[in-house]
Chain A
Amino acid sequence: DAKTTQPTSMDCAEGRAANLPCNHSTISGNEYVYWYRQIHSQGPQYIIHGLKNNETNEMASLIITEDRKSSTLILPHATLRDTAVYYCIVTYLSGSARQLTFGSGTQLTVLP
């Protein structure tokens, strides 16, 4: 299973872009990169996912390097409500179930 490495914590000023990096150097060709976030006392929330092309949705953009060994989640205009733990995940198959293997994530703090 591919493992991910993320910084433990990051700060970002409100209104600025937040760029969260993730390394996944052992990712295999058919594994997707997923990003979830968890606001305190809530369950994780899906943000975005991708295979090899860059992706954008209403919440964020995902930039995956050409060799797929790393990616960056971009929150274009961070708000205080974006303060959360952000998890970069590469999918893992357990039996016939696709589980998410969470690491420790990055604690993003958006500062006023």
Chain B
Amino acid sequence: ETGVTQSPTHLIKTRGQQVTLRCSSQSGHNTVSWYQQALGQGPQFIFQYYREEENGRGNFPPRFSGLQFPNYSSELNVNALELDDSALYLCASSRKPGGSTNEKLFFGSGTQLSVL
């Protein structure tokens, strides 16, 4: 069983640039969630994708956007990067979206983004 994989592992960008992060979900999982983790804090929910559509969003501005592909992999795009966007970006997959409180998430190791 293949786990959640993310790429790249590390990335350095400058303020104002755009970035795309990628995630391959665990085998058999059709739902992908993205989280942002600032240094010293817990992960914060960005959004979730199911059936190639966003079906839930946290308190993040529209310059954070995403895609999900037919193979359930996903991308997180961030436009107009700000210094505060520096964080670990985590992708998590699950078999179902929000319907079951029994569903658990499987996380990747994340992409460390530094904005200079």
A98 touches B101 (CB 8 A): yes
Residues of A64-100 at the interface with B, using a CB-CB cut-off of 8 Å, are 87, 91, 93-100
Partner of B98, one of A31, A34, A95: A95
Known: A87-B42, A99-B58, A100-B45. A43 touches B104 (CB 8 A): no
A55 to B102 CA separation, bound complex (whole angstroms):
13
B interface list, Cβ under 8 A from A? 4, 33, 35, 40-45, 47-48, 50, 55-58, 90, 92, 97-110
- Interface SS, B side: loop
Q: Mark A32-72, 1 if CB is under 8 A from B, else 0.
A: 10100000011111100101000000000000000000000
B44 touches A46 (CB 8 A): no
Give the shortest distance, in Å, between B81 (CB) and chain A (any CB): 22
A44 to B55 CA separation, bound complex (whole angstroms):
22
A103 touches B101 (CB 8 A): no
Given contact pairs A43-B107, A94-B56, enumerate 10 new A-B contacts (beta carbons under 8 Å). Answer: A32-B101, A32-B102, A34-B104, A43-B108, A44-B105, A44-B107, A46-B106, A95-B56, A99-B56, A101-B45
Give the shortest distance, in Å, between B45 (CB) and chain A (any CB): 4
Complex A-B: 27 CB contacts under 8 Å: A32-B101, A32-B102, A43-B92, A43-B110, A44-B43, A44-B105, A45-B107, A46-B105, A49-B104, A94-B45, A94-B57, A95-B98, A96-B55, A96-B98, A96-B99, A97-B55, A97-B98, A98-B98, A98-B101, A99-B33, A99-B48, A99-B58, A100-B45, A101-B45, A102-B35, A102-B43, A104-B42
Q: Which residues of B contact A99 (CB under 8 A)?
A: 33, 45, 48, 56, 58
> By CB atoms of chain A within 10 A, which of B55, B97, B100, B104 has the most?
B104
